[in-house]
Structures are given as C-alpha cells and as structure tokens.
Structure 1
Amino acid sequence: MTTRLLVLSALTTGLFTALPAHAADRPPNIVVILADDFGVGDIQAHYPNNKIATPNLDRLVREGMTFTDAHSPSAVCSPTRYGILTGRYAWRTRLQEWVVAAYEPPLIAEGRPTLPQLLQTRGYHTACVGKWHLGWDWPGPQRPLMTARRNGQKDLPWDFAQPIPGGPIDRGFSQYFGVDLPNLPPFTFIEQNRVLELPTAKLKVDTSEGIVLPVAFNGLPA
C-alpha cells in the first residue's frame, strides 16, 4: 500500500493525514486540522457546556496530547496557512497585514520548502482538499499588489480555461480539489490546477435591500 497524505480544508477547515507504506515498518499517520475562527472552547472536551457536539474531536483530545498554551503572530486565514506549510512568519513575505485577496499571486515563493514537500521525501503521497487562500498565478492581466482597490482584480478578464500555476500542486501536494476562497471570486471548484466549470455569470449583492442581483459576467447589470 502506498504511503498517502491527505489534507482537507473544506471551505474553512484543513486536515492533514498520512498512511504508511508497509505494515511492518509503519510510519505514523499524520493529521493536522485547521479551522478558521476555531477557539479552544469550541469543542466539548475543553468546554463541556458547548451546545455543539464534537465527539470525534473529543476523542482526539482523550487519546492524544493537548497543548493549550499556543500563540500565533496572526489570527487570520492566509498567514496561518503560510506558517503551517512553511514554518515561517508570514510577515517575512509581502503580506504585512490582513490576508491574500482574490486573484493575487502565490504567497509561498517558488522554491520555498513546505511541509508536504518534506513528507514527500519521506515516502508520503500528499493531497489537499478545500480552501487554499495562498494565491495562484492566475492566467491573465496582473495588477500591482496592495493598490487602493486591492480587490479590483475581480473585474479583470482572467483566462479560466488555462492551467493555474503556483497553487497546491506546485507547492508540494500531489492532488488538490477545492476552492481558492469560498467567499470571493471566481467561486468555482478547482481540481489539480484547473477550474472544473468555467465561470459564466456574476452576482451582485444589494446591501440596501439584502438581496443578490444577477449581473453580466463583464460586471454590467444583466
């Protein structure tokens, strides 16, 4: 049986697991769960009065080791993911604040060692499923970073039919399925380094009315 590593980050959650190559010489299974906005009191093992049942996580606490005195240099998505995958502070990159915006290039520099790459050298097969939020080299026009309208890139004519380099497949994962961001364009699933369905329409939120309006894909009202 081949050694396998699975990473799940379904929308906001990340999970690394690893399976051994040989039963006689079994390396440890590896599980890393990453959840946005997840507090130490959000599972019943740490806070019994929590109204949401978390039996599987409670079992991990009972049967494993618990570290409750942990610290992070940043409490938001992209810096957290960058730190876990590279072991480096995110402020050593261009990202000095906040998170990676829609259509920004990769935060993990090409050639930067990552955790999945290290595991691959030890015989693990690596995979990632779910939210990435670390940037890609989207085919199409490139704008300067950190402009006044940082998310203005959402309205540019990106070529979704082309492979998207610079993502999980190029940063140590053998397989990938998920989304760049669940709450920002292009709102499409990506498998390996290609979108599964080409975006064909946009939706615009009317904040005054609390409704979603269809708009043409070029950003004009439908």
Structure 2
Amino acid sequence: MNRREFLGATIGGGALLAQVPPKRPNILFILADDLGYGDLGCYGQERIKTPNIDRLAAEGVRFTQAYAGSTVCAPSRCCLMTGKHTGHATVRGNKAPELGLRPDETTVASLLK
C-alpha cells in the first residue's frame, strides 16, 4: 500500500465513523414528593408493596446516598434540575411563582437532548 492509498483509506474510514450517531443513554428519572428512603420495597419497606419500582431498581441503578438541596420542595427541585448548590440556585422558596426557574437556566434535561 502506498502513501496515497493509505491516506485515502484513512480519510474514508474517518468519514464513515463520523457519520455514526452516538448511542444515547436510556434514562428513566422518577421524582416523587415526600418519598422517604425506606418507603419502597427495594430499600426495605415490607408493608407497602412497590413491585414495579422494585423491578426497575433491580434491573438498573439505585441511589443509596443523597441529600436534599433545600428544606422545601421548589428550591430542592431547582437544585436537582440544574445541578446548582442552593446558594447559587435561582428558586428560593415555594411562594411567588414569578420567581421560578428562569427560561435560560441550563438543566440536566437540556444537556441530555
């Protein structure tokens, strides 16, 4: 193989690889209000049956260490959606809907598109 053939094969192969779309992750994110760590069967709950969520947990990823971004739900959700620390988040409380998440905020969902 001479230099010209080698360059042609290399460039042609690179062009083919560049056209393959990347495989996108399959993420199922479930958020439930007032759900404690021990409220699901997969985390040890015996009285309340949660078979579908337990099956998802058995076949996927379970979160075993986490913290709440804030003491109330709206700022916590803002931290969860943006990845920002409470001190840098734009949502400060549950009141005043006009102070919600700004349209220009980068969220985890927008990064996964």
Q: Same fold (TM over 0.5)?
A: yes
User: Is the counterpart of residue 73 in structure 1 residue 66 in structure 2?
Assistant: no
What secondary structure, in the 3-state scheme, does the structure 1 residue paired with 2:31 have? strand
Unaligned 5+ runs, structure 2: 1-20
Distance 1:25-1:115 versus aligned 2 partners, 3 A rule? closer
CA distance in structure 2 between the partners assigned to 1:75 and 1:56 by the alignment = 29
**Does the CA-based 8 Å contact 2:69-2:85 persist in structure 1?**
yes
Find 1:30's aligned residue among 22, 27, 34: 27
**Structure with larger Rg:** 2
Unaligned 5+ runs, structure 1: 1-23, 121-222
Alpha-carbon offset, residue 60 of structure 1: 1.8
**Does the CA-based 8 Å contact 1:36-1:76 persist in structure 2?**
no
CA distance in structure 2 between the partners assigned to 1:66 and 1:104 by the alignment = 32
CA distance in structure 2 between the partners assigned to 1:58 and 1:94 by the alignment = 32
Alpha-carbon offset, residue 29 of structure 1: 1.3
Matches within 5 A, 1:181-200: none
Q: Deviations over 1:67-90 (max 9, x none)?
A: 312122324210121012111123
**Does the CA-based 8 Å contact 1:44-1:58 persist in structure 2?**
yes
Distance 1:47-1:31 versus aligned 2 partners, 3 A rule? same
CA distance in structure 2 between the partners assigned to 1:94 and 1:67 by the alignment = 25
**More strand as a share of residues:** 1
Match of 1:112 in 2: 105
* Higher RCO structure (Cα 8 Å, ≥6 apart): 1
Taking only aligned residues, the RMSD between alpha carbons, in angstroms, comes to 2.3
Alpha-carbon offset, residue 48 of structure 1: 4.2
Matches within 5 A, 1:84-99: 84-92=80-88, 93=90, 95=92, 99=93
- TM-score, structure 2 as length reference: 0.66
Q: Residue 63 of structure 2 aligns to which amino acid in structure 1?
A: F
Q: Deviations over 1:66-115 (max 9, x none)?
A: 231212232421012101211112332361xxx322x5214323422122
Distance 1:110-1:61 versus aligned 2 partners, 3 A rule? closer
Q: After the TM superposition, which parts of structure 1 deviate over 4 Å for at least 4 consecutive aligned residues?
A: none
**More helix as a share of residues:** 2
Distance 1:28-1:94 versus aligned 2 partners, 3 A rule? closer
